[in-house]
Chain A
Amino acid sequence: MNIKENIKTLVIKKPLKLDCGKTINNFPLAYETYGSLNKNKDNAILVFHALTGDQFVTGINPVTKKDGWWSYAVGPNKSIDTNKYFVICANVIGGCMGSFGPSHKNPDTNKIYGTDFPVITINDMVNAQVNLLDHFEIKKLFSVVGGSMGGMQVLQFISNYPDKANTVVPIACTSNHSAQNIAFNELGRQAIASDHNWSDGKYLSNNTLPDKGLSVARMAAHITYLSKKGLQEKFGRKLQERDALKFGFDADFQIESYLRYQGSVFVDRFDANSYLYITRAMDYFDLVKQFDGNLSNAFKKTKAKFFVISFTSDWLYPTQENKDIVIALNAIGADVGFVEIKSDKGHDSFLLDVPDFLKTLKNFLDKSYSER
């Protein structure tokens, strides 16, 4: 993953002690911003990206030349209105879009880190990104927003920095990974590790890429982002450019061809080792355990206004897991709203054109902003 010229980078000088025990400093954090910061510096929203996202939230991603991952929700007059808000998003550490990650060179050995890169956590990601507030001289964000792994970062952020955001919007997420979540991530990691080209993570030095493994990992994960009903309606048993089954192992069905395509385009934009590191961070995330079994304690110090959103067909981070966050907040009398949005689009609903979701998110933010 080449560092392209149009990636903005902040070099974090302050040492950051990682959960694994190692300390990093002078490391790059790649970020992008949209809209403009007002005079009072109180209109900033920090958006956190999900597993395979990056800092290019909206508009055309200058590296992939495709639409930003949250183009439906972020932009002028959209849910997160860039005419009104100053949107900041950073590539997570461990990632592959310019932030410090396993494809970087270790300055001590001058070799690419690969799997020698320290294991990072959601907590580490958030502690790296809080430096952006100092950089922009923002005392308090108007909001922290994110879906999926972005939602986990939202929860960790407000727990670590209870005074640094007015509103908190975790979407389609969880306070800790279930066995099923870990299982799917492990399937992805094993797909990568069993690709001969992965070479114990040293593929960048060897000039080979574990494309097959990474693409299978993406195919498996992609299924978990959709719903059974959504898949059935879109693909059913439709055949791919043929009238009859071919009695072979080619992609006979449209769904096979679709998944293969999703896998093949993913490898062009994502680093296999980053995939290992970020899925590990998600698996390690356990905000309940961090607070000795009582999730409410994670939010005791904040006065922020929460709004939790889940989706009916999301079986990766189902409504009940989102509701557990709501219950923990209600248990301490926090200001929390919650809605489950009806959608057949599965976990991916938050990234797609789901009008009820987009409208509700906009209403919550705009109303909270005008009443702040």
Chain B
Amino acid sequence: MKTEYKIIVDLIEEKTRVLDVGCDDGTLMESLKKDKNVDARGIEISKDKVQTCVSKGLTVIEGNAELDLKQFPNDSFDYVVLGQTLQAFVNPEIVIKELLRVGKKAIITIPNFGHWKVRLNLLIKGTMPITESLPNDWYNTPNIHMCTIKDFVKFSKIINFKIFKSLALTKKNISNIDNSNLFYKNLFAELGIFLIEK
């Protein structure tokens, strides 16, 4: 399993209710059910992936987070997970607010656009960066709102949510992000993982 998923599983307490937004093929939901005895639900936009989830016995609805989070009442989940898709939404602010309305807490992971390879790519080549985790060209990328770890931390102050825990993932190494190391983590982390609250 991806290290990212292992970190998310560790962040989630046992026997809670979790909504996985953009649950893909249900890998994370499966391990949450197995390891943490979680009541897991998913939303997924791809029909094929919804069908894969159903074949795994997972409760998933086909839908789009921007349209379909509305139907869930306030605080209906202990956690809402959004893995590496915040940058693909038209309005990330509304999505974060919806996540924190539906869930008591939210776990958001973001591919870090501040990583040195991305910076170097743009600096040297002068074209939009293409990396392993960001393989698309500028004209066909679904990632319309890329941000850096630093941007995300800044965003928490602008739209007013609390970052409860922030972790950086570099290769397979996990480390905490705090004010003192933000500059370095923003340069070297491939992925930022944030546990947030209202």
With known contacts A327-B71, A339-B50, A367–B55 Cβ distance under 8 A: yes
Q: Is the CB of B62 within 8 A of A339?
A: yes
Residue of B nearest to A369 (CB): B57
B16 interfacial contact with A, CB 8 Å: no
Of A331, A340, A360, A367, the residue contacting B71 (CB under 8 A) is A331
Instruction: Count B interface residues, CB 8 Å.
Output: 19
With known contacts A305-B59, A326-B61, A330-B61, A337–B71 Cβ distance under 8 A: no
Residues of A within 8 A of B (CB): 305, 307, 326-327, 330-333, 335-342, 356, 359-360, 363-364, 367-368, 370-371
Q: How many A-B residue pairs have CB under 8 A?
A: 59
CB distance from B57 to the nearest CB of A (A): 4
Contact residues in A for B73 (Cβ distance below 8 Å): 331-333
Residue of A nearest to B56 (CB): A367
Q: How far is the CA of A232 from the CA of B55 in the complex (A)?
A: 34
Q: How far is the CA of A360 from the CA of B47 in the complex (A)?
A: 11
Residue of B nearest to A335 (CB): B59
CB<8 Å pairs between A and B, sample of 17: A305-B59, A330-B61, A333-B17, A338-B63, A339-B50, A339-B60, A340-B47, A341-B47, A356-B51, A360-B51, A360-B54, A360-B55, A363-B51, A363-B54, A363-B55, A364-B54, A367-B57
Main SS class of interface, A: mixed
Q: Is the CB of A342 within 8 A of B59?
A: no
Interface residues of B in 38-75 (CB under 8 A from A): 47, 50-51, 53-63, 71-73
In the complex, besides A338-B61, A339-B54, A340-B62, 17 extra interface pairs with C-beta distance below 8 angstroms are A307-B54, A333-B73, A336-B59, A336-B61, A337-B50, A337-B54, A338-B50, A341-B47, A356-B47, A359-B51, A360-B55, A363-B51, A367-B54, A367-B56, A367-B57, A370-B57, A371-B57
Residues 117-161 of B, flagged 1 when their CB comes within 8 A of A and 0 if not, give 000000000000000000000000000000000000000000000
Residues 9-35 of B, flagged 1 when their CB comes within 8 A of A and 0 if not, give 000000001000000000000000000
CB distance from A87 to the nearest CB of B (A): 21
Contact residues in B for A307 (Cβ distance below 8 Å): 54
Contact residues in A for B37 (Cβ distance below 8 Å): none
Residue of A nearest to B48 (CB): A356
